[in-house]
A and B are shown apart, each in its own frame.
Chain A
Amino acid sequence: MKQVKTLVKKTLKKSACKGGCGECQTSCQSACKTSCTVANQKCENEARK
């Protein structure tokens, strides 16, 4: 493509199928105890990989 560079394709829909295992870290246990930042948590679901 000349006009578009895609960094990430659709990810959310796919993640709904195999997601929700709950094995990932709770966001407040990493560094922030005062805001809610979830997009930086590592996924630990082997089935999704």
Chain B
Amino acid sequence: MLHLYSHNGINIVLDVESGSVHVLEPAAYELCKLISDACYGDSAYLKVTPESVFINSACPSVFKDKLISVFKFDSNEIEDAYSELKELFEEEMLFAKRDYAINLPEDYPVKALCLHISHDCNLRCKYCFAEGGDFGHGRKNMPFEVAKKAIDFVIERSGTRHNLEIDFFGGEPLINFDVVKKTVEYARSLEKQHNKNFRFTITTNGILLNDEIADYINREMSNVVLSLDGRKEVNDSVRYDVAGNGSYDRIVPKFKKLVENRKGKDYYVRGTFTTQNLDFASDVEHIRSLGFNQVSVEPVVLDSHDPLAIKEEHLEKIFSEYDLLTEKLADIHKKGDFFNFFHFMIDLEQGPCVIKRVKGCGCGTEYVAITPDGDIFPCHRFVGMDEFKLGNVMDSFDTKKELLDYFKQSTVLNKPVCEDCWAKYYCSGGCAANNYNCHGDILKPHEISCEMERKRIECAIYLKALEAIGDE
């Protein structure tokens, strides 16, 4: 399967099953499109296969005639294009088929926890999927005893995995920061004995940040996610406290200071866009103007009836913003500056293996969320949905087998809709919670998310192509 697209005069072909990416001159691009259409397109006007096309020593006349009459390419150009595409085909980098097994494990060790250190929050963000921080189950903080058990749980269930991840999440984790510190200390005390390496991350709205906490985060956390939606008016219209006061002025100076002292360690300033700021490229630009260069601004996740929810009718505008952002990033990179937009990051060469690409985020298998009461859920997005409770770390480290089996199925290979999607090895069939909330089935992708993901991948690959062409 191929995905062919042109962006700003650059013709790109992604060979889905091999992972190869090529930039084509116009003659090769049009020829490749004709062959792909003839073999697999809706108007598969010829009963041909790539094998039957590329067996020829010269470009078959059915394609050549069209390229000459419609596109006015000259014969030599067409023959060059044909022989080069043929070479790619023979080297299994064009129209490749998957002729190998993707061996997924029988059992998954748990290696990552989303630790809901507090189900309380000092903000009341309009779009919060945690229903104001408590996930609909009452405001509470995680006692240290629960956090300790959660660490014991991940050590016991992680098998031979060396790198273990703990994300302090909420609600707002700084509300219960003493337990964060004790948990880090406890986990570190066990690393050597169990041959584990803990990586801690924290997601905060910044309201309670102070110098002492920032220093601690910069020392102990491998990544910190700082929530800010962009321009002050955008941020404050959706991110405000109980009294309705926006958070922008209180958090931006603290975020700047924290990042200045981070000494190159990872961080993300992470925003959300809604129907109120469909011009979100301006928010990314604004965050950059504040001096931040690792940014993620992501579409809101809400029930489709909510006025802030992204719907089909917004996609055109969203795509044009992604295009705008792509051009901005291209300009920034051209000047040799560093700026990382999370959703345009792609590692084509040494990125994740195909096994990771197929199974995705590990929700309910390698990754689980633990609530302040010790309840185990498949991930932070399933917290509060009692039918998905896997167990409780205070009672036992056992987890419901039937639910684990259900989430084990959640690979792109088991999602029929994804079978013919060119992006299947880049998103693994989407977020299980989005899928469930939309269709009541973790294996049925949320279409609007798919549309946006495909657009982002196109932008990301285009930026890589631009980089490669610029290097010549």
Contacts and interface: CB of A to CB of B under 8 A. Distances in A.
Contacts, number: 231
Nearest to A27: B361
Contacts of B381: 33-34
A26 B345 contact: no
Given A12-B425, A13-B18, A26-B165, A4 B84 contact: yes
B88 A4 contact: yes
A9 B323 CA distance: 26
A15 B354 contact: yes
A46 to B, nearest CB: 11
Q: Which secondary structure characterizes the binding site on chain A?
A: loop
Contact of A23 (B19, B162, B223, B225): B162
Contacts of A16: 100-103, 353-355
Contacts of B362: 26-27
A44 B223 contact: no
B114 interface: yes
Contact of B268 (A2, A9, A24, A31): A31
B229 to A, nearest CB: 13
Nearest to B353: A19
A38 B432 CA distance: 13
A32 to B, nearest CB: 6
Contact of A39 (B99, B163, B425, B434): B425
A18 B298 contact: no
Contacts of B239: none
A34 B296 CA distance: 11
B425 A3 contact: no
B22 interface: yes
B275 interface: no
B351 interface: yes
Contacts of A48: 350, 353
Interface residues of A, number: 44
By size class, the interface of chain B is 35 or more
A28 B77 CA distance: 47
A30 B343 CA distance: 11
A11 B348 contact: yes
Given A19-B353, A35-B430, A40-B347, A3 B28 contact: yes
Nearest to A20: B355
Given A10-B19, A31-B268, A34-B434, A23 B163 contact: yes
A23 to B, nearest CB: 5
Contacts of A13: 18, 92, 98-100, 354
Interface in B254-304: 268, 270, 272, 296, 298-301
Interface of B: 15, 17-25, 27-28, 77, 80-81, 84-85, 87-88, 91-93, 96, 98-105, 108-109, 111-112, 114, 129, 161-163, 165, 167, 169, 199, 201, 203, 223, 225, 268, 270, 272, 296, 298-301, 342-343, 345-357, 360-363, 366-367, 379-381, 425-432, 434, 449, 453, 456-457, 460, 464-465, 468-469
21 contacts: A5-B469, A7-B21, A10-B19, A11-B19, A11-B351, A19-B356, A20-B103, A20-B355, A23-B161, A26-B165, A29-B114, A29-B165, A33-B203, A34-B299, A35-B343, A35-B427, A40-B342, A40-B346, A42-B350, A43-B350, A43-B353
Given A25-B199, A41-B356, A43-B350, 17 more contacts: A2-B84, A3-B27, A4-B81, A7-B348, A9-B20, A10-B19, A13-B92, A16-B102, A20-B105, A22-B109, A29-B223, A35-B298, A35-B449, A36-B361, A38-B428, A40-B347, A43-B351
Interface of A: 1-13, 15-16, 18-20, 22-45, 48-49
